[in-house]
Chains A and B, each alone.
Chain A
Amino acid sequence: MFDEFTGPFIIGHMNYWLFIILMMTGLYIVVAKGNLVKKIVGLNIFQTSVFMLYISMGKVTGGTAPIFPHDLDIDPDVIYSNPLPHVLILTAIVVGIATTSLGLALIVRINEEYGSIEEERILEIEQAITVAENTAHGDVMGGRG
Chain B
Amino acid sequence: MLVVTAIAVVRMRSLFAMVMLSGVFSLLSALLFVTLDAVDVAFTEAAVGAGISTVLMLGTLALTSRFERPSKHSPLIPLFVVFVAGAALIYGTLDMPNFGAADAPAQTHVAPDYLARSPHEIGVPNVVTGILASYRGYDTLGETAVVFTAGIGVLLLISGLRGRRRRDDEDEATERGPGANVQNAASDAALNTGPKTGGQA
Contact = CB atoms under 8 A, between A and B. Distances in A.
Interface string B58-98: 01110111001101110100110111011001100110111
Greatest chain A CB density within 10 A among B26, B69, B127, B139 is at B127
Q: Is the interface on chain B under 10, 10 to 19, 20 to 34, or 35 or more residues?
A: 35 or more
Contacts of B60: 37, 104, 107-108
A61 B101 contact: yes
Given A25-B7, A28-B78, A87-B132, A64 B37 contact: yes
A101 B49 CA distance: 12
Contacts, number: 294
A65 B40 CA distance: 9
Interface in A66-104: 66-70, 72, 74, 79-87, 89-91, 93-102, 104
A contact patch SS: helix
Nearest to B25: A45
A45 B139 contact: no
Interface of B: 2-3, 6-7, 9-10, 15, 18-19, 22, 25-26, 29, 32-33, 36-41, 44-45, 48-49, 52-53, 56-57, 59-61, 63-65, 68-69, 71-73, 75, 78-79, 81-83, 85-86, 89-90, 93-94, 96-102, 104, 106-107, 110-111, 114-115, 119, 123, 125-128, 131-132, 136, 139-140, 143, 146-147, 149-151, 153-154, 157-158, 161, 164, 191, 194-195, 198-199, 201
20 contacts: A1-B94, A15-B99, A21-B86, A25-B3, A28-B82, A34-B73, A38-B9, A44-B49, A55-B36, A55-B41, A63-B37, A65-B38, A81-B37, A83-B114, A87-B131, A87-B132, A87-B136, A97-B48, A101-B194, A120-B69
